[in-house]
Structure 1
Amino acid sequence: MTDAPSFMADYGERLVDNGYSVIPIMPGTKVPGRFTGGEWSPYPDWTRHCDRPTKPFEVDIWRRWPGCGVGIATGAVVGIDIDILDGALAIQIAELATSMLGDTPCLRIGRAPKRLLVYRAATPFAGRKRHPLELLARGQQFVAYAVHPDTGRPYEWPEDSLVETPLSRLPVVDEASCAAFLDAAWQLVPDEVRVNSILADAPTSTWRGPSDPKGTRDAIAAALAWLPNDDLPGNEWITVGAAIKAAIGEEGRDLWLDWSRRSGKSGQSGRSDTPERRWASLRPHSVGAGKIYWLAEQRGWVPDPALTLNGTAAEQATQPHPAAGLLAKVAVAPLPIAPPPKPYRVPPELLQVDGTLKLFLDYATSSAVSPQPFLSLGAAICLVGAIAGRRYRTPTDLRSNLYAIGIADSGGGKDHARRCAKRAIYAAGLDRYLGGEDLASSAGLLTSLQRHPARLFQVDEFGQFLKLVLNARAPAHKAAIWSELTKLYTSAAEPYIGAEYADQKARPRVTIEQPCACIWGVTVPGPFWSALEGGALADGSIARFLVFLTDDDYPERNEAPAHMDPPPDLVAALQGIARGVPGHSHGGNIANAMESSAPIHAYTVPMARDAETAMARVRREATDLLRSHRGTHATALFGRYAENTAKLAMIAAVSRDPARPITQAADITWASALVEHCIGTLLREAERLVSDNDTEANHKRVLEIIRTAGEISRNALVRKTQFLSKREREEIFDALVEGELVARSMKPSGTKPTTIFTARSTPEATGGKEASP
């Protein structure tokens, strides 16, 4: 644990709600960072956040990182950075900004009287710098909430802060008006304050990139484009040349010559070969690529994430890592425990579906005594996915097979949607699509799909099933089920070919052409979360499942539920999906198309042009998320983000019009929001409830008891923790108090005070100090 406050836990979620793109900042610095393997390191790909909103589940990850500060990725936001220590001049330039750009309510102070004013961009544009003034725009960032590295005190917002001010309320500026302001403000800066040199009066280097002197040609060329060469002193000219030569050797000669000849001094000596002669005489030491990169960053350069900066790393990247086998076995260190988040509510727009999905949703909720719309949606998606199986595919050959889990407490109505799906299938005469309600063995699973290769398996008590099959001591026939489910999930677009046995007569090889196995499992929370302990989340075992967690275990009762008979329009809609697209040949008639060995030609559901654009954006975001969270267990989930989005969007299109389905941009938007919600739910709840070892599990279990009670006496807590020995109990109590997750106090009670334990809430839980607003 750490005593440093987590500003991300305090402010991150509210900033995202206000429309800002936030990024994690390493403690004690102004540098974007990430916390992996138990330590902080620079975050090289942070600029990706400048072009997209921050996901709620990203904040859920970052809020656990010790001492995490909050930065704002600029693009939609513009920062006017007045880096001047003359108080009167700093105020004068700020007033000029107010008169030319508008009166912003958000002023940030780090090291007074320096200040930063925050505006909103009409459209994103590139920033620029005229030291000591800087326009922070697309591709840059500023620190909003953290401890200033020079003053040792939190950044201050003396007027309104970004937490109190939505992005939409900031004054709007454009590139032309900001450039005009920068020109006007520059005229107010005295000559002695301006920096015409690229080295003189430069601040102490804060370069956090590669320290190896070697660079790459592409990166050096990109950085040089940001370094001016107008009348520089000779020593600075030589320093840049030496840094280039140290970074890339003779490969940098032409870059040095081109850069040298930008100067107005070039050729004034009467000799045209001065740069060539100087290059030959350079003997670099104490400089290298880092010097070039840092100087360029001081002038606003933001390295493209696609660039490789470190030359040695670029060379090594072409070779297999000597410890690749060992590294693959190293477990990711557990992240620190965080305070409990707010309830993860289901956004209402996720329930705004149409077609067959809506018909089933209405049927399941209207006929329920305890309506659970979100769980009904999960059941509907799996139902439609199974019946659409082998009939439809996306343009990238994904199919409609989905695995999903519905979670609610006992008595919360989690089983109702499962029963409705069964009744609807039978009413439509499609019972051949319904698999067993228990998976007894891998052989039974495959036999079921051989009989009908598109099936919906609805499994009750799915958490107990997971505990059994994921247990290291599970019987072989049970453990094999999980392996087969994994293989089936990735075989929906091709033949599934089973294991070969010596006795082919007794155990022939199983081959299933393009199987579509859909799973809808329902469970109570406890067994499900305990099943994930021991690495199931980190190794990707559960990443294929969409997790539907109800936000209300005990909803208001429906005192007059509708009849359980499926409505005729739902029955007709399911039959329409089973018929597929009229006139399209699946490789045989409808009956033959569902033979496990029949060749299949699924109908490709086209995408509207704007849907293609939206899907491309989702794929980019998926890559960004993988790069952003490299080294954490979250990557297993993000690896399925784009795939599940495409599947759900196609299911929405088929649900709306099975005869002529077309995926629209709205389908992509809905599907990506649903996948994000399911991922965020899994990450957030796993952080609270899933442990990698018994010690961590006991800490979390005791903490959850205290959180649930809010305030609990020592005697009551001892009674609820009888699963621990006395020694373990006392050690855990002390650890939770020392870690400032729990407060221990004395409360008068009769003749003897009573010890009270209280769960701390943010911000106290993360350091006991409230940051200055």
Structure 2
Amino acid sequence: MTDAPSFMADYGERLVDNGYSVIPIMPGTKVPGRFTGGEWSPYPDWTRHCDRPTKPFEVDIWRRWPGCGVGIATGAVVGIDIDILDGALAIQIAELATSMLGDTLCLRIGRAPKRLLVYRAATPFAGRKRHPLELLAHGQQFVAYAVHPDTGRPYEWPEDSLVELPLSRLPVVDEASCAAFLDAAWALVPDEVRVNSILADVPTSTWRGPSDPKGTRDAIAAALAWLPNEDLPGNEWITVGAAIKAAIGEEGRDLWLDWSRRSGKSGQSGRSDTPERRWASLRPHSVGAGKIYWLAEQRGWVPDPALTLNGTAAEQAAQPHPAAGLLAKVAVAPLPIAPPPKPYRVPPELLQVDGALRMFVDYATASAVSPQPFLSLGAAICLVGAIAGRRYRTPTDLRSNVYAIGIADSGGGKDHARRCAKRAIYAAGLDRYLGGEDLASSAGLLTSLQRHPARLFQVDEFGQFLKLVLNQRAPAHKAAIWSELTKLYTSAAEPYIGAEYADQKARPRVTIEQPCACIWGVTVPGPFWSALEGGALADGSIARFLVFLTDEDYPERNETPASMDPPADLVTAIKAIARGVPGHSHGGNIADAMEASAPIHAYTVPLSADAQAAMAVVRREATDLLRSHRGTYATALFGRYAENTAKLAMIAAVSREPTRPVTEAGDVAWASRLVEHCVATMLREAERRVSDNDTEAKHKRLLEIIREGGRQSRSDVTRRSQFLSRREREEILASLVEAGLVVAEQESGATKPSTFYTAVAPSRPPLFTEIPR
């Protein structure tokens, strides 16, 4: 485990909030990477982030990766990279960029005086390279926050940084203005500073490695292994030879000869053009290591992170730094402690719903003393899902059964939406859709669904319920509830067939045609998160639930709440959903359509063309996430990402127009954002609260007390941690201080020194394995 700082933990979330597409950077490099199986490796598919915003739960995962740097995928962002060590010339070209493209306050310094200026693209366009200048645009990236591999110090932002300046406030540039700047700047570069490139006047290749023509023998040899000689025309045989010679000089002769002799054409051109003679005559002038690397990358080569690609950098690393004496005298400033992450706010667009969902959220919010709009949305989704049960289906045969949990502290108004849902159902005369408020046994659950196969179960103190049913010592009839809920969730599109018993008369087999069980559970945080410590996250059983965590446990009070009577338009909308699509036969008359054994033919809610395209993107992203996080409990959550998105999008369409619903692209966009937020909530809170054992749980709980309370005296910490013995408290405090998660400060008092504790905004969040067990 490395002690390197995780810049992703410090800055990733705020950069995403500012509109930037963020990617993870391997520590000590400029290369996008991913951390799997306990080690770093290149991230070959990082370019997808150039075309879409970074998702909050991606940052929540990357921030856990040790030493993770932060890169910016360009496209909406444009970087002007001035790779010049002549200080006066670098400043002159930067000033030219300011005069031609606009004054940007976002200036990044890696190895001074080299610099990078950041702008915003009017529309994405391809980048261009004229060594030592480069226009980083669509399909490229630059490092924003990390330790520079050459200087060993963090990249600097002398003026404003991307953390302080949202994307919308960057100066806007277009392709023509950037090309004009590149031409003008290139004219200022003297010949001795220029590095010729075969790509000088064309859009850059996908190779993002060093632009210096010099390479290293190991890297050239590794790249050549990916270049079958037959794949290149004769002129490129010469080009590759010239590139090898430019990259490593005479040291590359044997590599050239071996590579040349792989070709079936070797020796067929006549004695005058043997590889040996050609090598002697090669005079490279416009190609180098980058050409070899690029050609190999086109055929699938991914450079090993251990390889040094840049020959000049390798030579410099072998020499003593020219300013070593001076640098030794300069005190290296410690890395600044980033401010704590802001509260995990609910994005306002998640509440932008319409139809019955909108009516219910407005009703539950207006009538509440402590309004909780986000929890009201969760209850509304479960309500509509239950009423729409067995009436509608997606084209992939998903149904509207939804499991969701609302979390807020005691006295925060979490129960109000549950009461509103009950009143709305009764006002519509649909009380048969309402299940019990306590699940006493698996048999009781199934009996309820036999009476009416589409039901909403609203469970109070859901965290305590989970602790009971997930406990290894739970009574059999309680433990079986969780198993039945899991099976019911996946049986909504087919008959649910219960267990067979020997005495069929006393205990007949339960069969329910396409059950639609929706669950809205409410709970306080503590019991819920502690209930997950038995492995429910890892086995995927809790992944079926959408987690609605309020961002304000104690909202401003509504001193004049509206009436608790459901509005007439809400009641009308709920009735319309229960009736389904006019003229569509569900398999029986209205009276028996909800018989548990009645054959059901649900109406297929079509997707518009744009919605189909949007869902295809969601499914691809779900697959990418599963592949990227194979072997972690996060895959259980990502496994339901596309499924829950499709369900919620259909519910939104039914809510808007139940008589002839069509799922639109906006429904898919809203649903995917909501699912992403719920997944991110689960990942973030599980990291903070879920423990593998009692010792770890105590460490996390005490750390959370210090984190939430700010700077606290020893007596305050003691008062708030009475669940610990004195010895436990002292040992845990000592380990937290030693781990760098808490700072202990001594202050002189009137009689004796006082100790104060402050939680450090960690350079990377505490991993489970770092907390003593």
TM-score normalised over the length of structure 2: 0.82
1:263 paired residue number: none
- 1:607-661 C-alpha deviation (Å, 9 max, x unpaired): 2333233333333333343344444332322222222122112111111111111
**CA distance in structure 2 between the aligned counterparts of 1:231 and 1:217, rounded to whole angstroms:** 14
2:739 paired residue number: 739
**CA distance in structure 2 between the aligned counterparts of 1:81 and 1:130, rounded to whole angstroms:** 10
**CA distance in structure 1 between the aligned counterparts of 2:764 and 2:245, rounded to whole angstroms:** 53
**CA distance in structure 1 between the aligned counterparts of 2:601 and 2:425, rounded to whole angstroms:** 24
Matched, 1:652 2:652: yes
Deviation at 1:308, TM superposition (A): 8.1
1:466 paired residue number: 466
1:238-317 maps to which residues of 2 (within 5 A)? Answer: 272=269, 295=290
Deviation at 1:526, TM superposition (A): 0.8
Matched, 1:58 2:58: yes
1:32 paired residue number: 32
**CA distance in structure 2 between the aligned counterparts of 1:35 and 1:522, rounded to whole angstroms:** 35
SS of the residue aligned with 2:533? Answer: coil
Inter-CA distance 709–197: structure 2 relative to 1 (3 Å threshold): closer
2:202 paired residue number: none
* Contact in 1 for aligned 2:227/2:295 (Cα 8 Å): no
* Contact in 2 for aligned 1:45/1:627 (Cα 8 Å): no
**CA distance in structure 2 between the aligned counterparts of 1:689 and 1:182, rounded to whole angstroms:** 52
- 1:497-551 C-alpha deviation (Å, 9 max, x unpaired): 3333444444433332221111000111110010111332233221111111122
* Contact in 2 for aligned 1:339/1:762 (Cα 8 Å): no
SS of the residue aligned with 1:593? Answer: coil
Inter-CA distance 352–227: structure 2 relative to 1 (3 Å threshold): farther
- 1:578-602 C-alpha deviation (Å, 9 max, x unpaired): 1100001112222333222222211
Deviation at 1:104, TM superposition (A): 3.2
More off after superposition, 16-25 vs 495-504 = 495-504
1:608 paired residue number: 608
1:142 paired residue number: 142
Inter-CA distance 243–100: structure 2 relative to 1 (3 Å threshold): farther
5+ residue gaps, structure 2: 199-209, 280-286, 305-337, 767-773
1:577 paired residue number: 577
Letter of the structure 1 residue corresponding to residue 742 of structure 2: V
1:505-516 maps to which residues of 2 (within 5 A)? Answer: 505-516=505-516
SS of the residue aligned with 1:620? Answer: helix
Inter-CA distance 427–633: structure 2 relative to 1 (3 Å threshold): same
1:213-228 maps to which residues of 2 (within 5 A)? Answer: none
**CA distance in structure 1 between the aligned counterparts of 2:164 and 2:726, rounded to whole angstroms:** 47
Inter-CA distance 302–172: structure 2 relative to 1 (3 Å threshold): farther
1:125 paired residue number: 125
1:77 paired residue number: 77
1:401-480 maps to which residues of 2 (within 5 A)? Answer: 401-480=401-480
**CA distance in structure 2 between the aligned counterparts of 1:359 and 1:240, rounded to whole angstroms:** 73
1:21 paired residue number: 21
**CA distance in structure 2 between the aligned counterparts of 1:396 and 1:225, rounded to whole angstroms:** 53
**CA distance in structure 1 between the aligned counterparts of 2:222 and 2:536, rounded to whole angstroms:** 37
Deviation at 1:728, TM superposition (A): 3.3
**CA distance in structure 2 between the aligned counterparts of 1:221 and 1:525, rounded to whole angstroms:** 61
Paired positions, count: 711
Inter-CA distance 654–411: structure 2 relative to 1 (3 Å threshold): same
Deviation at 1:344, TM superposition (A): 1.7
More off after superposition, 376-385 vs 535-544 = 535-544
Inter-CA distance 751–653: structure 2 relative to 1 (3 Å threshold): same
2:618 paired residue number: 618
SS of the residue aligned with 1:119? Answer: strand
- 1:443-472 C-alpha deviation (Å, 9 max, x unpaired): 222222222211111111110111112222
1:757 paired residue number: 757
**CA distance in structure 1 between the aligned counterparts of 2:473 and 2:236, rounded to whole angstroms:** 61
* Contact in 2 for aligned 1:26/1:68 (Cα 8 Å): yes
Matched, 1:543 2:548: no
Deviation at 1:754, TM superposition (A): 1.8
5+ residue gaps, structure 1: 261-268, 283-291, 312-337, 767-773
**CA distance in structure 1 between the aligned counterparts of 2:110 and 2:692, rounded to whole angstroms:** 40
* Contact in 1 for aligned 2:213/2:246 (Cα 8 Å): no
Letter of the structure 2 residue corresponding to residue 563 of structure 1: S
Deviation at 1:674, TM superposition (A): 1.7
* Contact in 2 for aligned 1:127/1:300 (Cα 8 Å): no
**CA distance in structure 1 between the aligned counterparts of 2:488 and 2:274, rounded to whole angstroms:** 67
**CA distance in structure 1 between the aligned counterparts of 2:663 and 2:484, rounded to whole angstroms:** 31
Matched, 1:161 2:183: no
Aligned identity (percent) is 78
SS of the residue aligned with 1:493? Answer: coil
Inter-CA distance 367–200: structure 2 relative to 1 (3 Å threshold): closer
Matched, 1:9 2:12: no
1:193-208 maps to which residues of 2 (within 5 A)? Answer: 193-196=193-196, 202=213
Matched, 1:232 2:213: no
**CA distance in structure 2 between the aligned counterparts of 1:294 and 1:757, rounded to whole angstroms:** 53
SS of the residue aligned with 2:557? Answer: coil
SS of the residue aligned with 1:543? Answer: helix
Letter of the structure 2 residue corresponding to residue 672 of structure 1: S
**CA distance in structure 2 between the aligned counterparts of 1:746 and 1:196, rounded to whole angstroms:** 60
More off after superposition, 459-468 vs 597-606 = 597-606
- 1:341-377 C-alpha deviation (Å, 9 max, x unpaired): 3222222332222211122222222322322222111
SS of the residue aligned with 1:466? Answer: helix
**CA distance in structure 1 between the aligned counterparts of 2:167 and 2:733, rounded to whole angstroms:** 43
* Contact in 1 for aligned 2:240/2:292 (Cα 8 Å): no
Inter-CA distance 102–432: structure 2 relative to 1 (3 Å threshold): same
**CA distance in structure 1 between the aligned counterparts of 2:221 and 2:405, rounded to whole angstroms:** 44
**CA distance in structure 1 between the aligned counterparts of 2:227 and 2:54, rounded to whole angstroms:** 31
Letter of the structure 2 residue corresponding to residue 658 of structure 1: P
More off after superposition, 20-29 vs 709-718 = 709-718
Deviation at 1:720, TM superposition (A): 3.9
Letter of the structure 1 residue corresponding to residue 9 of structure 2: A
**CA distance in structure 1 between the aligned counterparts of 2:513 and 2:219, rounded to whole angstroms:** 53
**CA distance in structure 1 between the aligned counterparts of 2:726 and 2:391, rounded to whole angstroms:** 61
Inter-CA distance 108–557: structure 2 relative to 1 (3 Å threshold): closer
- 1:385-439 C-alpha deviation (Å, 9 max, x unpaired): 0010111112222111100001111222211211221222122221221112122
**CA distance in structure 1 between the aligned counterparts of 2:235 and 2:496, rounded to whole angstroms:** 54
**CA distance in structure 1 between the aligned counterparts of 2:755 and 2:447, rounded to whole angstroms:** 60
* Contact in 1 for aligned 2:6/2:764 (Cα 8 Å): no
